[in-house]
Amino acid sequence: MSATDWESNEELQYFREYLRIPSVHPNPNYEPCVEFLRRQAKQLKLPIQVYYPANEQNPVVVLTWKGLQPELPSVLLNSHMDVVPVFPENWIHPPFGAEIDEEGRIFARGTQDMKCVGMQYLAAIRALRKSGAQFKRTIHISFVADEEMGGRLAMRPFVDSKEFRALNVGFGLDEGIASPTSEIPVFYAERTVRDVFFKISGTAGHGSLLLPDTAGEKFSYILGKIMAFRKVQCERLANSPELSIGDVTTINLTRLVGGVQSNVVPPLLTAFFDCRLALDIEIHEFDAHLHKWADEAGGGIEVEYEQKRGHIPPTATDETNPFWVAFKGATDHLGLEIKLQVFPGGTDARYLRKAGIPALGFSPMSHTPVLLHDHDEFLHAETYLKGVQIYQKIIANVASV
pLDDT digits (tens, 9 = 90+) for 209-256: 999 999 999 999 999 999 999 999 999 999 999 999 999 999 999 999
Q: What is the DSSP string of 269-285?
A: EEEEEEEEE-TTS-HHH
Do residues 190 and 349 lie in contact, with contact meaning Cβ atoms separated by under 8 Å? yes
Q: Mind listing the pLDDT tens digit for each residue in 26-82? A: 999 999 999 999 999 999 999 999 999 999 999 999 999 999 999 999 999 999 999
pLDDT confidence of residue 67: 98
The C-alpha atoms of residue 345 and residue 285 are separated, in whole angstroms, by 22
Q: Which of 113, 146, 147, 148 is catalytic?
A: 147
Clarify whether 31 is annotated catalytic.
no
DSSP 8-state code for residue 245: G
Contacts of 381 (CB under 8 A, 6+ apart): 1, 6, 9, 12, 100, 104, 105, 106
The C-alpha atoms of residue 390 and residue 378 are separated, in whole angstroms, by 19
Q: Which of 11, 82, 113, 175 is catalytic?
A: 82
| CATH 3.30.70.360 domain residues, the chain | 195-305
Residue 3 pLDDT exceeds 80: no
Residue 204 pLDDT exceeds 90: yes
| CATH 3.40.630.10 domain residues, the chain | 3-190+312-398
Say if domain 3-190+312-398 classifies as CATH 3.40.630.10: yes
Clarify whether 147 is annotated catalytic.
yes
CATH number of 195-305: 3.30.70.360
Q: Mind listing the pLDDT tens digit for each residue in 322-360? A: 999 999 999 999 999 999 999 988 899 999 999 999 999
Residue 366 pLDDT exceeds 90: yes
The Cβ-side half-sphere exposure at 203, using a 13 Å CA radius, reads 11
